[in-house]
Structures are given as structure tokens and as C-alpha cells.
Structure 1
Amino acid sequence: MMFLLIPALLFALPWWTLVAAPTGGSGALFWAGTAVCVLGFLGLPAAMFLGHGPAQSDPALIVGDTMLGVLWVVFSWSLLGVVFGRGALAVAGVDGQLAARIVAVGVLAVAAVLVAWGVYEARRVPRVRTVDVAIDGLAGELDGLRVVVVTDTHYAALDRQGWSERVVEVVNSLQPDIACHAGDLADGSVERRRAQVDPLGKVDAPLGRFYITGNHEYFGDAQGWIDHMASIGWQPLHNEHRTLTHRGARLVIAGIDDPTGTGLPGHGPDLPAALAGADPALPVVLLAHQPKQIADSAAAGVALQISGHTHGGQIWPFHYLVRLDQPVVAGLSRHANNTQLYTSRGTGFWGPQLRVFAPSEITVLVLHPELSGAAG
């Protein structure tokens, strides 16, 4: 029922705003528009089931996800048009069918521009975002250490091998000391997506390349992706840590599984296991896919948690819904026990090839000792 109810709600408001109200419920445009909405209402669940269900059809996945993204944009701006557009027109003395037509044209124009822009933003090579982070207890020898983060690449039905290669070129141009992938690597099996993932093997980071699982790995073959990333030179941090030495000073980098991993034997987040044996005097940089894992990180005295998962909302105004589930949507934030959290908006996109007011990023976290005066 929910599988049909959600599309019904998403189609009903655009149907009223763009079809029923401006046409007065009659005429050729009304029936043509209604037919389009009915076909969309029937087609969207079918495409999503064929794409995300047992068949795993890539063409259906592309069609269904694209329809969902476009529909979300049209629904959101239809709501704004009805509430604020009609209200403003009423104040101006314009009402009735004329106001409905003005709103419909405005919603269509805004939605068309945002969809076109959103596709461009999703498919482009992400912008680089550089953030200075002051770490309590970081040795002076590690001042300026560069941690480059990619996350939520979501390699899927759209072939983005060329995009992946260009992302690697950008990452290497940033001269990372440490490279991290904070989860949601790909949607689908290693066999189907490895060609898009393999360019990551060319990332150059002298102190190490580290990878953790996100929730989407657990929708498929998590262990397969862990093994594959290890085969191309990345170090999976499966509830474990490494102690890195640079210029004679040391730093702990750790990683934990995504909470969705608890359904797979031997998986699921285990922060005590990840930090077992680590020198308690050293600051810890932790990879944890979801920002809400920060509560455990702060309790354990982690200096910096690096997360993704939120995509910054990906398609405005979805970030308001994300905020209901996660403590942070994007950026650097400070939490209990002086623990900091950096939440990336993600390097790729999930599902709809759209990003609206939530640009993707490749992040450079430049670490400094707390007493150096550098601030994030």
C-alpha cells in the first residue's frame, strides 16, 4: 500500500497545480495532462520495482530513479506555488483560473530549470572543499596533514567510469597524505560495478588509502566490496584501526561498519573493537558512514569523525527530512567531549541523477594542532 500511496501523493499535488486548476477540469489539456499523470503513477512503481527489486534491471533503474527525482522537484515547487504563489497573487488581486494558470507556468518554468541544473550538478566532477580542522593533542609534526575524503560515490546503473577517472585525477592533484572513502561505494554487485570502481586503485596517498562500508553495501555484497577494495590497494577498516607515523609523530585512523551491517554475521559497528590496542594518548580520526554514530564516537573520546550518508539532502528541500534522522546534514560540527564531526555532502549521487542546492564535493581536511589557532 505504501508503495502505491507515496507515488499517489507525489502525483496528486502536481496534477492539481499543473493540470486540474489551470484548465478548470475540462478540455484537451486537462485530459492529456491527466493521462500523463496516470501513466506516471503506474510507471513509477513498476520501474522502481524492476530496477530495485529482484530483476535488478539497469534501464528500469535509470528510468524509475529519474522519474522519482523529477517528480520530487515538481511536487516541491507545486507546494510552494500553491501556498505562496497563490497567496501573493491573491494579495495582488489576482484570483481564480488566471492565478492558477500563472502559478502553473511559474512552477513548470522553475522545475524545468532546476531539473536541468540538477542533472549538470550531479554529473559534473565535484568541486573541491578545503576545511581546516584543529585537533586536540595532534603533534606539531603533523600540522598541515592533508586528508582527502570521497564518499557516497554510488556507482550504479549509469556508467560513470570516465567520471571516476576524472575524480581520481582531482584527488591526486590535491596531494593527499591520507585518502578516505567513507562508504556507499556502489549499488550492485562487484561483477557489475567494478569497472567504475577500479580507477580508485590509482589514488596516490603515501600514508594510506582507507575504506569503510556504508549502508548501501549491505543492500548487496558488502564482503565482496571489502575484498575488492583490498585487491586494488585500499585498506578496509572493518571495525579496526591503523597507527600512522609521519615525521616521527603518530596518529590513529580507525573505521567502523555501518549500523545496517548488523544483519550480516560478523558485521555491524563495533567501536571498542576498532580502538582495541590503540594508544589512548594519540588522537583518533574515525571513519563512520552515518553522522548519528557521533554519539558513540564522542563517548569514546574520538577527536574527529568523518561521515557521509546525507548527500546534503541531494534534492532540496529533502534535507529537512534528512535532519529528522541525522544530527548534521553537512559541514564541520563540534560535539560532546570536544569531538568534531565532518559530514560530507558526498562525491556522487544516489538514485535520481539530480543535485539541487546540495552540490557534491571532494573534501580536503587539513589537520592542525588545537593550540596552533587554526579553526575549522
Structure 2
Amino acid sequence: MYLFHLFVFAFYLYTVWRLIIPLPLSRYSRAFLAFVLLLITQYRWFQLWFFGSMFSPELPHNVVLILGGLFAGFSLLIMLTLLSDIVSLIGRIFSIHSLYWSTRKRVVIFLATIVLAIIGVQAAIRVPDVKRVEIPIKNLSQKLDGLTIVQLTDLHISHLFRDAWLNEVVQKTNQLNPDIILITGDFIDGEVSDRWSDIQAYKQLKAKYGVFGIMGNHEYYYHGEKWFKALGELGIEMLANEHRVIYPQGEPFVVAGLTDEAALRFKLPGPAIDKALADRPDNAITVLLAHRPQEVAEHIAKGVSLQLSGHTHGGMIIGFQQLVKFFNGGFVSGLYKVGEGWLYLSNGTGLWNGFPIRLGVPSEITLITLRHQ
């Protein structure tokens, strides 16, 4: 986390140097702008000192939305400034004076940042649409052709996404009448006592063969053992390096789930694929819930037919996706063929309150239909 803030501060200095200092304003006006930008970039320290958490401050919804939106806007400002520097460099190399930096371009960057941030925040906090995906599964019985799974992931219920939003997500999910509901982690941000009233709608999720879930990294930040128990009390069959066998159309079908590597930081069991798959029925189709996508090749090699993951939020912004992909094993969003199996990596149903923005990467409730191959 300290490294993250160091990078943010470095980008802050870069933005002040490239955008604010050259503005034709008084010294005091430029100092004021630089100070405001500093507060935006470092507000999480104030959250930690005064409101208990960097990840989920117990602040009113609108305050959380504004603070997160401002930080997301700062990230856009960095992107646009870097892009303008690259364009300006090209202009200098080829003596194209119209590509040089100017006061007008700096003002345009500020205005573009504001407009894009407003659009992106609105896109981030809406109830997601349903995304339909068909996946051909090797050796899937013809009896199971058409089996439907709804994947929810990264809902991050907090003071940003509260009970009303979750109620709408649950209603949309239930209207799909899925055979199975699978939730791949990051249900919440916050302690059980702070979130309990907001997450009661999870109890209303209905699927013919059950609702299953795993922990993401964020549950572990708030006493993971308590969250594992609490989510189970809401009717979700929580899996921790284990599996369950269900029998749709009388056919054995394995749903397995891993813990997240964040567990290791809290001296809890990390992901253990061999344990999760031990003693499953021979030749049964296996769907694995793994919050992060990185180890999918190993999982497929051990007999998993389909891995469902989240964590990346799809990259959130076109242009950020390559960076997010780099930190997630080359995966960022959508359906990937991996060996003899598949990875489906959802953009996420919600997202973390500290970076509430989506531009060109919509959130989703994913309806997956399995097909006989």
C-alpha cells in the first residue's frame, strides 16, 4: 500500500509540473490548484486516520462517491497528460508546431477530464445489464446442454453500493431463472457489523441447484473468517479449497472453489487446487471458482473444464486494460480458451468504492449457457 501511495505521489508531481506550473495564473492560484490536487490524490490517508479504513470508509454515500470520483478523475488526468506529452514529443521530433503544448491544450485536458469522469462515474454505479455467453464444454453430456449459470463477482457492497442497488441486482439475477448461481468473491467492503443490513438481499438469490461462492481478497481485509461464516448464514454455499457435487438432470457436476492468496497475509489457508479437486467423481464436468485468473492453466491441466474469475474489473477504462492484464497473468476480460478448457473473466458486477469509474468496460451480470461439444 505504501508503494501505491508513492507511485500516486510521483504522478501527482508529474501532473503539477506538466499541467499546473505552466498555467498563466498567479503563484497563489497555481499553489491552490496544486494543493487541491494533493488532497485528491492523498485523501485515503485521511480516511484511514479519521474513518477507520482506506478501503471502505464509513462515510455517507455521496461523500464516498465524490471522493472516489475525484481520484478516478485524477487517473484520467494522468492518462491525458501522458498522451499529450507523447504527442508533443512527436511534434518536436518532426517539427509539427501544432502538436506542441499550449495553455489552450492544458485547459482542454482539464475540461475533458471533468466530462469523462462524470460519464465514467455514472456508468460505474448503475445496475449492470445482463451479458449472455455460450461456452462449448468438452465431454459435456447432451443432458446438460443448455445448463445455465449466473456469475456475479466483485459486487463490493459498501457505502457506495448499498442495499437498494443489491436488491436490483438480485431481482435481475432471479428473473433469469438460472440453474446455478456462482459468486466469485469480493462480496463486500467493510466489517460484518457495518455491512450486515446492506447485504440481506443475498438471501433472496434463487437457483435450481444452489448458490455457491468463494472469498475474494477484500473479504480477508475485514476478518475473513467472520465473513465466511456470515455469507454462509445468508444461504450461500461458501467453498474454501473444496467442492460440492450436484446432479442436474441426474448427471454429476462439480462446483469447486479456492480461497484467495490474500488469505496468506492473515495466516489463513491460501489457494490449494489439489485439495479442492480431491475425490471428485471421475469424468464429472468441473467448474472452478477462483477470484484471480492467473493460475488458470494449472487448473485446466488438473481437469477443470471452466474457471470463473473476477478481480480485474475488466480494466475499467479502455487504455488501462494493458496495465491490468500485465498484473493478472495476461488476462483482463472475457472468454479465453486455455488448453482443453476455458476461463471466463467477468468485468465485475460492481467495483471498489475507491475507483468508481468505467469507460468502455461495462459492469455485468453474466448469464453463461453451457453447450455440448
Cα distance in structure 1, aligned partners of 2:287 and 2:139: 12
8 Å CA contact 2:125–2:161 kept in 1: the answer is no
8 Å CA contact 2:242–2:257 kept in 1: the answer is yes
* 1:103–1:13 Cα change, 3 Å: farther
RMSD: 2.3
Match of 1:274 in 2: 276
8 Å CA contact 1:255–1:288 kept in 2: the answer is yes
Q: Which of residues 166, 169, 192 in structure 2 aligns to 1:167? A: 169
Match of 1:80 in 2: 83
Answering whether residue 372 of structure 2 is matched by residue 369 of structure 1, we say: yes
Match of 1:66 in 2: 69
Q: Offset of 1:111 from its aligned partner?
A: 1.1
Q: Offset of 1:330 from its aligned partner?
A: 0.5
Cα deviations across residues 190-234 of structure 1 (Å, max 9, x unaligned)?
A: 111122222121111111100100111111121212111111111
Cα distance in structure 2, aligned partners of 1:299 and 1:94: 55
8 Å CA contact 1:150–1:182 kept in 2: the answer is yes
Instruction: Point out the more displaced range, 127-136 or 194-203.
Output: 194-203
1:21 is matched by which residue type in structure 2?
A: P
1:58 is matched by which residue type in structure 2?
A: E
Instruction: Point out the more displaced range, 355-364 or 156-165.
Output: 156-165
Instruction: Point out the more displaced range, 148-157 or 256-265.
Output: 256-265
Cα distance in structure 2, aligned partners of 1:91 and 1:206: 67
* 1:324–1:199 Cα change, 3 Å: same
Equivalent runs, 1:1-376 vs 2, <5 Å: 2=3, 5-23=6-24, 27-28=25-26, 31-42=28-39, 44-45=41-42, 47-52=43-48, 55-56=52-53, 57-59=57-59, 64-84=67-87, 87=90, 93-94=97-98, 99-326=101-328, 327-336=330-339, 338-350=340-352, 351-370=354-373
2:191 is matched by which residue type in structure 1?
A: S
8 Å CA contact 1:13–1:78 kept in 2: the answer is no
Cα deviations across residues 13-38 of structure 1 (Å, max 9, x unaligned)?
A: 33244322342xxx33x531332222
3-state secondary structure, aligned to 1:11:
helix
3-state secondary structure, aligned to 1:355:
coil
8 Å CA contact 1:50–1:61 kept in 2: the answer is no
Question: Given the two structures, how large is their TM-score scaled by the length of structure 1?
Answer: 0.89
Cα distance in structure 1, aligned partners of 2:23 and 2:231: 54
1:50 is matched by which residue type in structure 2?
A: F
List runs of 5+ in structure 2 lacking aligned partners: none
List runs of 5+ in structure 1 lacking aligned partners: 371-376
Cα deviations across residues 48-102 of structure 1 (Å, max 9, x unaligned)?
A: 1232468234238666533321210111111112222675698654376xx4123
Instruction: Point out the more displaced range, 134-143 or 9-18.
Output: 9-18
1:37 is matched by which residue type in structure 2?
A: A
Cα deviations across residues 304-326 of structure 1 (Å, max 9, x unaligned)?
A: 00000000112343322211121
Q: Offset of 1:263 from its aligned partner?
A: 3.5
* 1:366–1:85 Cα change, 3 Å: farther
Match of 1:374 in 2: none
The runs of 4+ residues in structure 1 deviating greater than 6 Å are none
For these two proteins, the number of residue pairs brought into alignment is 362
Question: Given the two structures, how large is their TM-score scaled by the length of structure 2?
Answer: 0.90
2:182 is matched by which residue type in structure 1?
A: C
Cα distance in structure 2, aligned partners of 1:134 and 1:82: 46
